[in-house]
A and B are shown apart, each in its own frame.
Chain A
Amino acid sequence: MISIRNAQFSYGKHKVFDNVSLRLEQGKIYGLLGENGVGKSTLFKILSGLLKLKSGECTLFGEVPYNRTPSFLREIYYIPEDFAGENIEVGRYAMQIGKFYPNFSPDRLQHILAEFGVDPNAKFPKLSHGQQKKAIIALALSLRTKVLLMDEPSNGLDIPSKALLRRLIAENASDDQLIIISTHQVKDLENLIDPIIILDREGVLLNASIGEIAEKLSFSVEPKYNDRALYCQQDLRGYLTVKHNIDGDETPVDLELLFNCALQNKALFKDIFNNK
């Protein structure tokens, strides 16, 4: 559904993507991980048509995003990290915006706003950053676009709201919807995002489902440092270790560990997950 081939993009002389290829499918909630500055937000801007690739191809359900046709724009919604609403009531704004989207459901909007505890009659600037974020997430989920891009949605949310966010996304994502969530707070969205994409300055390090990762790697806590492991990180419990899964027993995937491991074994990760 989303296809990126040999994409190149730069801001002036600063190269962001060089020959990046990626294929994403409908009906999944992708987690997009990467260090600061690797181009996660840039990727979102390219996918939503706000930026144009220097070379290569990018298509979403067959359309080139940068052409920004109305038929494309009504099937995608992008929540930027730094969202701040205008001086307008949340409900009034949502109802007006919703008219442009064929699958918008006002009932769903009311329900999600109520779950988040956001007053639809409040104006955006009167709300806290976290409340504004909840309001725009409620709008995004009620629009039911084919593609939903969320840049750091859990930033600014309190701890109970993070759990609520996970539940509401899981409940309201439709079967044919493709959601990409970019985050540094992997713990906030664990058990929700699957597959995982790890982006790096050299391209895509990993694009694999949790099942595939568990099949190929094992995560464990060991009492001693294991010099044959792919990655070892000490904490109070011992050594958090990532190894090749040789015996075939699947262990729960620790996303934070996976991410650190991927950064330390870039070439190996590309090799393991056939992502060259």
Chain B
Amino acid sequence: MDNNIFSFDRFIKVLKYDLRFRVMGFALLFIVLLVSVHLFYFLIYNVGELRIVERVQIIQLFLFSCSFMAPFKIYREFRSSRGKASFIMLPASAFEKFASMFVISLILVPVSFLLLSLALDYFAVLLFSNMGHDRFFLRYEEFISLADIDFSLCCPVIFTLVSTAIFGNVIFKKRALAKTMLCVIAMAYILSEAVTLITNFIFWNDERVYAGTWSVIHEYVQDISEKVCLAFSVLLYAFAYWRIKKMQIS
């Protein structure tokens, strides 16, 4: 008897289907973002030389934007009854469809953006350095490698951003991207207040505060923030999955 919850073969079929027919809707924006990174470098370069840290930050900014926008574009059919019907009626389980969405949004899009962005930069530097512009874009000798990008920061941020994007795309019918961004801002404010309250409560009358040992508190806040964000993201993924499983067409 068939496993109606997860079959690897079916999952691969759904993944291939999504990559062939759904990801195409995001291709144009993906290319625009990819080119924008380099355009941005080019414009900034004329203003003043960029330090390697700033370059990494620019790549990260575009990487985060791309990861956040991807689910809205790739799975835009959730916002129409017709699209929802074709999604629901695809012969695969809700878990397989969700897993495909998860893999594409959380792994394939960010990784391919990062790799293509670095590859494009590599070729641009090779091309222009031969013409004498050895300080163009990311300089060849200071070419950013994957090791230069702080994954300990990148991964949790992308995990949270994608969870909110998938959630917003499933929940909101119209202006899903804008409404989700507003929700993210509101939730960030609420969560930061919650973290402040928790920290105040824990460090109330703690002598390390009076002794000026702020690094202890800073590390604690960072640690608790990451945990709160992680728990919050897992909740959003779970809710989005439940919503997909129970989705109905009016």
Contact = CB atoms under 8 A, between A and B. Distances in A.
Nearest to B96: A70
B91 A101 contact: yes
Contacts of B7: 70
B249 A100 contact: no
A67 B172 CA distance: 24
Interface string A61-91: 0000000111101101110101110111000
A194 B247 CA distance: 34
A84 B10 CA distance: 25
Interface in A156-202: none
Interface size class of A (residues with CB under 8 A): 20 to 34
Contacts of B10: 70, 100
B92 A49 contact: no
A86 B250 CA distance: 21
A80 B250 contact: no
A100 B87 CA distance: 13
B21 A73 contact: no
A86 B96 CA distance: 22
Contacts of B250: 11
B248 to A, nearest CB: 5
A207 interface: no
A73 B82 contact: no
Nearest to A74: B91
A52 interface: yes
B94 interface: yes
A96 interface: yes
Contacts of B2: 70-71
14 contacts: A50-B88, A50-B89, A50-B248, A68-B93, A68-B94, A69-B4, A70-B10, A70-B93, A74-B91, A92-B20, A97-B90, A100-B10, A100-B13, A100-B91
Closest 9 pairs (CB-CB, A-B)? A74-B91, A73-B91, A69-B4, A100-B91, A50-B249, A70-B91, A71-B2, A51-B248, A70-B93
